[in-house]
Amino acid sequence: MRFSAVFLGALAALAPAVQAVGNAIVVNNCPFDAFLNSVGSGIGPEQHLAANGGRYSEKFHRDPTSGGIALKITREAGGLLNGAPQTNYAYNLNGGRIWYDLSNVFGNPFEPNALRLAPSDGSCPSLFWPHGVPPGGSQTRNCQPNSDVTLTLCAPQ
């Protein structure tokens, strides 16, 4: 019985560390509205990010079918479904890490404005596109899963 109590106590002490995950955050600093859908194996409802400070946040999680999640951001209401240019902030909670990347599809919706994808843990790598256009090469980075990772639209230079 003593072993069980010690084991359960140790397990309880570890539980918060195992369960602690960060957030995927998008902040709209642009002087225009943006629209976001969280997409895994299904499409979440469109979120309106108001100009000059609109914000969206979701806990990092795994999609049971696709694994990863993509926050698809356009400058048009309904843009995801009508083929508007989009910026995709994708993440995957896998292997004890949060993997994140940034890409554009169908054009560069935030050009010439800067985009910054930065973890709250300063020891983890960030991405910065000074003109909203993806550079060549892989854009995938990773960090501890308890770190928030924030995409800032129209980020300061």
Element (H, E) at 88: strand 86-94
CA distance 52 to 42: 29
Confidence at residue 138, expressed as pLDDT on a 0 to 100 scale: 84
pLDDT range class, residue 95, cuts 50, 70, 90:
confident
CATH of the domain at 123: 2.60.110.10
Q: Is residue 12 part of a domain?
A: no
Residue 17 binned pLDDT confidence (cut-offs 50, 70, 90): very low
* 6 within some domain: no
pTM score of the predicted model: 0.87
In a domain, 41, yes or no: yes
- C-alpha distances in Å from residue 75, one per residue of 21, 28, 51, 82, 100: 29, 11, 11, 12, 22
Does residue 141 fall inside a structural domain? yes
**Residue 13 counted as domain residue:** no
Is 10 among the domain residues? no
Question: Can you give the residue range of the structural domain that contains 47?
Answer: 21-153
Number of domains present in the structure of the chain: 1
Hunting for tokens 């957030």 — which residue is that? 23
